[in-house]
Amino acid sequence: MRRLLLTIAVIAAPLAAQASVVTDAFTSFWALGDSLTDDGNLPLAGFAAGHPGAPISPVAGQAAYYAPGDVPRFSNGRTFAEYIAAEFEAAGRPAGNLAYGGAEAAEPAVPGDPTPGLALQRQQLSGASASFGSRPLVSILIGANDIFAGLASPDPIANTLTAAIRAADAVAETANVLGTQGVRDFLIANLPDLGATPAFALFQPQARFLASAATSAYNARLAANIAGLQAGGLNVIDLDIFGQLNGILANPAAFGYGNTTLPCLFPDPAVAGALGQAPVCTDDQSLSWLFFDAVHPNLVAHARFGQAALERIEADLAPIPLAGSLPLLLTGLGAVAVLRRRRA
């Protein structure tokens, strides 16, 4: 895995000059969220023990994709926020990731919580304010676990949409509170269509419609909240993860994907066997299968999301787009697909 991460870092190197626009404008970068952002803060074994049945990667299968010393994530490589953080670190500017797998947007702040929710993450971020500098940038991507909790409740129809709205409101509240503490710039991402993930499209088709409806409700409320934050004087850059993923699903071959329905890691070997699949996909398949597990995208998708985030930030800073940056990255990522990785 280390070799693969280094390879993608080399591929992204031509973008460093463009990304410097971001690090010239902002003095630090901080990421809040859940497993779609977590860069290794939460040990997977601990999360699995405390959340039986949660739709996450099997620990044994996940470990096979990481060399000794690498920090496991809820994917087979870096999450999207790490690509942004890398630019700040390369420029000698502070960057921090306070996201935790399993975190919910609307859960209360409980000191010592092994999966700190957004409120507790915000409090922890406030404690790092001495490192903000004059213009910090804060990324927020969270809300899926709130929806999962609603879907798993005794009355999912009544609770799931409510959970989605509360989660979107919690994001706005977090931005407003941080705004009073000197943070004026935010990158806020919407959710991918949860109903399109294997967790629901393949394993729980009876809940697929509700998962998609909750995603839409969350994203609509979030968009309205972002407009309100902007009207209140905050600079909020929106990141359309929903559109990014749907674009891939609409034409997977164009993005180098050979499979968008099966996960690389199955939640249950028996289920994999029933579908005629191995419990864990091959190394090569892990690069061309969109979903690493039942709900999390693979490292190539995260790299795309990270590049999309950098381009959105750059566009907000400079109206003239930087032509050719995305094709450069995608061409390089295509080359990665031919690599053969050795397992530790």
What is the dotted CATH code of the domain comprising 2-336? 3.40.50.1110
Res. 69 pLDDT band, cuts 50 70 90: low
Lowest mean pLDDT segment, chosen from 62-76, 120-134, 189-203:
62-76
336 pLDDT higher than 90: no
Whole-model pTM: value is: 0.85
- The per-residue pLDDT of the chain, averaged, comes to 85
Lowest mean pLDDT segment, chosen from 31-35, 61-65, 178-182:
61-65
pLDDT at 16: 52
For every residue of 262-331, which 3-state class applies, written as one string? Answer: EECECCCHHHHHHCCCCCECCHHHHHHEEECCCCCECHHHHHHHHHHHHHHHHHHHCCCCCCCHHHHHHH
pLDDT at 328: 47
Res. 37 pLDDT band, cuts 50 70 90: very high
* Dist. CA 157–CA 166, nearest whole Å: 15
A 10 A CB-CB count for 157 gives 11
Averaged pLDDT for residues 159-187 = 98
pLDDT at 268: 86
**Cα-trace Rg, the chain:** 19
Averaged pLDDT for residues 239-262 = 97
DSSP state of 12: T
* Burial of 241: CB neighbours in 10 Å, binned 0-12, 13-18, 19+: buried
